[in-house]
Structures are given as C-alpha cells and as structure tokens.
Amino acid sequence: MGLTWDKSLVAGGNDDLLGDGVEFEVYSSVSEADQDDSVNTHVIEALDYALSYLDRNVKDESRFFLVGWDATSSTLMFAVTDDAKQLDSPVVVRCHFAGFSKKLASDSQRESVVEAYKENVRFWCKEHLSTSSAFTQYSLIALFVDEGRARAGLL
C-alpha cells in the first residue's frame, strides 16, 4: 500500500530543516517499512511526491533541490531552496520511516546500520533523480543534507 499524505501549515525556524519566518505547507507521511526493498519503494514514492510540487516550488531564485536525511528521527525531507540555502519553497515534503526506526532501536550494530542507510537513501535518490523527467526539466542542483545545510553535498 502507498503512503498517505497529511497537509499542515508550519512556521519556519522551528528546526534546522526549514528556513526562518515563513509559513510552509508541509506534506507528511509515515512509512512502516522496515526491509530494504520496501524502504526503497517508499523513499522513491516520497521523492516523486515532492517532485510533483516542483511547478509550485521553483522560482527565479531557486537553485537547489534539497534531500535531507535526519538519521536520528529517520525522517526524509525534500525542499527547493535558493543560493544561500535559506529561502525555501512554500511546499515541503517529509516522510518519517517509523518502521526503520523501530528496527534500528533493536539493532546492536545501530551506528553502522544508520551509516549504511544514509548511503542507501542517498544512492536511491540520486539514481531516481538522474532518470526523472519531472526533475530534469528544471535547472536545479540536487544536494544531500544529513548534518545541516552548511555541510550539504552534491547528490
């Protein structure tokens, strides 16, 4: 079964992922997937959902498509932002991988699994974006963020 999306309005500046002083439409979902293939499917579904908002999100000042992975909360976030990575798009998509979080909680090798999943998420997103006509019709640079925007790297 696919992901179900809930819309909420959120004021920016509440966390490191959203810019300051702006209200965002945040579309959130929760994935109970805990196996690689089903997590991959939900990562791609969330990515496609975020790409469906590019027509609303891309403005003249848009430069980057951010793929943010918060390993602590197992949350994936997508947004479009400007050169300084401070002025975000009005629509943000987030997916919390609750099933993966539960699996991690019982894993004795937690740190190595977290690092491996970070690389998996990065790879899955990179591969999908490289073949996505929805993404390639825009002149955006895809960035991967896992430790704050200042340390973002090319996807």
DSSP letter string, the chain = -----EEEEEETTSSSSS-SS-EEEEEEEEE---SHHHHHHHHHHHHHHHHTTHHHH--TT--EEEEEEETTTTEEEEEEE-TTS-S--SEEEEEEEHHHHHHHHT-TTHHHHHHHHHHHHHHHHHHHHHT-HHHHTS--EEEEESS-GGG-EE-
Residue 118 falls inside a structural domain: yes
Residue 142 falls inside a structural domain: yes
pLDDT score for 20: 56
Residue 95 falls inside a structural domain: yes
Better-predicted residue by pLDDT, 19 or 60: 60
Residue 124 falls inside a structural domain: yes
Residue 17 falls inside a structural domain: no
pLDDT tens-digit readout, 61-79: 999 999 999 988 899 999 9
Above 90 in pLDDT, residue 129?
A: yes
Residue 72 falls inside a structural domain: no
pTM more than 0.85: yes
Q: How many domains does the chain have?
A: 1
Range of the structural domain that residue 150 is part of: 6-11+22-59+79-154
Residue 66 falls inside a structural domain: no
Residue 74 falls inside a structural domain: no
Residue with tokens 């973002």: 152
